[in-house]
Structure 1
């Protein structure tokens, strides 16, 4: 399987923030942004694997600065690290005040996707080749994040064993 560069999976989506996108503080709803992050990241994962993908986890979303109604919001995503069938996708969210041109990193996120075959089983993905300094830094630290994800998943599975599915009402 031939390796692919991070840039081959890069997705850039820019949109305006409208009144129906904001909360009581006149800033972008976190849930709206999280939905856009997942959608954009899924395209990157599909481009990299050229297979159907499922979201395995949203590893982290760091909201770093508010996105205002007068801003545009730009999401940039790409595959940073791969396992056998899993892909880590990084998403950088940049807000821009459209009047002043001031830009700021509003959020960052890491998500994991698994490529699946037509039978719904995990399928192998190509390795990723970082090219820029940003891509190399993210790729070099990918294995550490993958180990954290595995540990967190084990903890979540252990906790799930204690949870009930009975209705409390």
Structure 2
């Protein structure tokens, strides 16, 4: 299994925000955005492992700026780290008022995916090799984020979270 780089998993997806995508205030509905984010992240994960994937978790999704009716939505996604059968994908969402030529960050999130074999069982994924300083920073942080997810999801005991031990265990 050949290792890959984060840039090999990079995905850009754009949508024009239409009336059916918005709430009564003319803002993009959060559920619609999360649907598109899930698609972009899944494509990024599939580019890494070359097989079907399923969403395992979605980290906090906070909306810092609404995306308005008529604006352009752009989602950028790429892997930050691969583990045994799972992959963490980082997403940044932009809104853009094309008329005013103004681009702004709407939100960011991390989604985790699990690769599946032909029988629908988890399968091993290739190693991810970060290259840039930013990719290395995101790669290092991914282990801590993973441990937080596992502890909060009840799949790991706090005492077992080596990277987070100081947060959970009294000296």
TM-score range, shorter chain: 0.7 to 0.9
With structure 1 as the length reference, what TM-score do the two structures score?
0.87
Misfit runs of 4+, over 4 Å: none
Distance 1:19 1:132 in 2: 40
Equivalent residue, structure 1, for 2:52: 52
With structure 2 as the length reference, what TM-score do the two structures score?
0.86
Distance 1:94 1:136 in 2: 23
**TM-align CA RMSD:** 1.2
Distance 1:123 1:142 in 2: 20
Equivalent residue, structure 2, for 1:161: none
Q: How many residues align?
A: 155
Instruction: State the 1:136 CA deviation.
Output: 2.5
Distance 1:27 1:117 in 2: 39
After superposition, give the CA deviation of every residue in 1:54-102 in whole Å (9 maximum; x if it has no partner).
Answer: 1111122121111011310000111111110000011110111111211
Distance 1:25 1:130 in 2: 41
Distance 2:140 2:46 in 1: 22
Establish whether residue 15 from structure 1 lines up as the match of residue 7 from structure 2: no
- Give the unaligned 5+ runs of structure 2: 156-171
